[in-house]
Amino acid sequence: MISYLESFSNKVFFFLLFLLTFLTYSQGLKNEFVYDDAIVIQKEERTFDPVNMLQVFQEPHYPYLPYYRPVTRLTFIFEKTFFSDPGPLVFHLTNIFIAAGLGIVIFKLFSLKAFKLPRSLAFVGALLFVLHPITSSAVYPAASGRETLLPVFLMALSLYYFFKGGKKEYLFSLLFFVLAIFGKEQAIVFPFILLFAGVLGLTNYRLGKHPKNWLVRYGPFFTALMVYLLLRWHIFKGQEYVFGNDPLLIVAAPLYALQQSLLPSLELRYEPHTISSWLSLSRLVLLLVGLVIIGWQAIQSKGRLKTLLFFVGIFFIALLPNANILFQEATFDERYILLSHVGVVGVIVTLLSRVWSAKSQLLSYCVFLIVILLAGISLHRATYFQNNLVFAQQWVATNPDYYLPHYNVARSYQEKGEMGKAIQHYKKSIELNPSFTSSYLNLGIVYYLQNNFKNAFTNFRQYIILEPDSPGGYYHLGLLFLQTEELERAREAFLKTVSIAPDFSEAYNNLGIVYEGLDEPEKAKEAYLRALESDPDNISARENLESLDKNP
């Protein structure tokens, strides 16, 4: 098999990588949007034009979180503009194409002369990477997947061109790095990967006796990094840094990455909240045995020491943003370790190169069997992203003591009209995290829809206590009082709402309804006009105003 593979041209390898990647992940094309796709993609209403492009570079990527990913965000806006607000299919298909491109780049990277790998083994390494369940976690979710998949693709391109050498290749490398760093914050460590390659003497830009030369070569990358960090500082004021916040992560992050790379689980464990939710004694023992074998083989591979050190360096350097440098909402997740996985696969194929020859047929069959098993797991993982409810249920199943999965499964049940189950999970979310305000607001809404105004009032009031400067609690209290015909209280609630949010069109509309009920038509008219001023497309406010004019 090995000699047969070596006879293939690069174009055949490219085609096979694209085909196998597409076949593995095509099951996800039927999936709906899940979780934060709603905010990042579905609620995005801007079009792809210069004004909006500039605006995207001046704002956080996600509400209330210190994420800055304008390049990735612009890809979503471009797709929505170009395809006239498409459904999830377009975004899933784009992710598959990016994954296939990443697999091809990994093949080209492993095929470089610096690593001395046979092309057939480089192809195997690309398959081990792109069909691995870790990569599936960056392919199936449209938004959160792309946020990792695209920057890693760009970093892989940058790394490949940097190793290639040449002026044109160097400029391409710098360009792709700049795009990557504005795609996701994890790319802040990428210049250090390049620097490490130079220290080891693996690239044309080695660190030697001429500091001016390597300063010229590496300086632009670190300059781009500093510009990026200054922009982040301008937006977040340094709030995104968590230096030394959890020293345990320095050990736990590599352990999690190694376990998921070498011993991936069949089921999806999305954003495991605690170490105990992903680590077991049996897997730890197997992992340690595997590491001993890898270490022993590494000792025997003296001629490949620099290559092994480089891939080990990629593994650890790529984990630094998740281990006490930049804030991440979740402590662990497979998509966070996608770049580190390049290092793991690199070590594996480098060790395999010692015994990879035309005579190693049994070895090649075993390796391809592992590739098939990994692809099977990745194919199976598509079922967990079918829709928001299935996704949230799996999240709860693997994180039963974490509030956020319960909140999201409750929202899914609420959208489906299964209010009893929604109440159950909102209550569980509150039990696990009494300070998570959104659970109170949504639980209040569910009770309101059930005409259980007493419990609705209790939860709205609790939300207001915790979020006194948010208009949501006052607005829904106003709706409740309007429903119970307590018009004076409704008026006060809606007035408080618009004092916090002066452009809240629907609050003005309901305030107009209240004023009509209080027999104050002039104030009602003023409220309807303010509603239309804030939102000219508010049909309800327009109809109410027309009705008021006809029946003064």
pLDDT class of 243 with cuts at 50, 70, 90: low
- Output the pLDDT for position 207: 63
Q: How confident is the model at residue 47 (pLDDT cuts 50, 70, 90)?
A: confident
**Model pLDDT, residue 195:** 92
CATH of domain 417-550: 1.25.40.10
Confidence of residue 253 (pLDDT cuts 50, 70, 90): confident
3-state secondary structure of 358: coil
Backbone angles phi, psi at 66, to 5 degrees: -80, 60
Instruction: Report how far apart, in Å, the C-alpha atoms of 519 and of each of 118, 159, 483, 510, 515 are.
Output: 85, 71, 17, 14, 6
pLDDT at 328 over 80: no
Closest CA to 379 of 22, 124, 13: 22
| Mean pLDDT within 31-56 | 89
**List of E strands, 306-389:** none
HSE, CB side, 13 Å, CA atoms: give it for residue 213: 8
Distance separating alpha carbons of residues 497 and 491, to the nearest angstrom: 10
What end-to-end distance do the CA atoms of the chain give, in Å? 87
Query: Is the model's pLDDT at 323 over the cut of 80?
Result: no
Q: What is the pLDDT of residues 53-67, one digit of tens each?
A: 899 998 888 877 788
The pLDDT of residue 281 is 82
Share of the chain above pLDDT 90, in %: 65
Residue 32 in tokens: 């709906």
Tokens of 436: 């998570």
pLDDT score for 2: 63
* pLDDT digit string, tens, across residues 479-504: 999 999 999 999 999 999 999 999 99
Query: Is pLDDT of 298 > 80?
Result: no
Q: pLDDT at position 3, please?
A: 65
CA-CA-CA-CA torsion sign (278, 280, 286, 292): positive
The answer to whether residue 324 scores a pLDDT higher than 70 is no
Q: Are 203 and 197 contacting, i.e. CB atoms less than 8 angstroms apart? A: yes
Q: What is the pLDDT of residues 187-209, one digit of tens each?
A: 999 999 999 998 888 887 666 65
Give the span between the Cα atoms of 137 and 395, in whole angstroms: 13
Q: Are 34 and 91 in contact (CB under 8 A)?
A: no
- CA triple 230-231-236, angle to 5 deg: 95
Give residue 236's pLDDT: 82
- pLDDT of residue 242 exceeding 70, the answer is no
Residues listed for the chain: 552
Name the pTM for this structure.
Answer: 0.90
Here the tokens at position 367 are 């390796």
Residue 478: which of 466, 469, 464 has the closest Cα? 464
Every domain of the chain with CATH number 1.25.40.10 lies at 417-550
| The pLDDT value given to residue 21 | 97
The pLDDT tens digits for 281-291 are 888 888 888 88
| Per-residue pLDDT at 418 | 95
What band does 325 get if pLDDT is binned at 50, 70 and 90? low
pLDDT given at position 505: 94
Q: Tokens 């471009």 — which residue?
A: 78
Q: Which residue has the tokens 């160097």?
A: 170
pLDDT digits (tens, 9 = 90+) for 119-150: 999 999 999 999 999 999 999 999 989 999 99
Give per-residue pLDDT as tens, 392-424.
999 999 999 999 999 999 999 999 999 999 999
Give the per-residue pLDDT at 296: 79
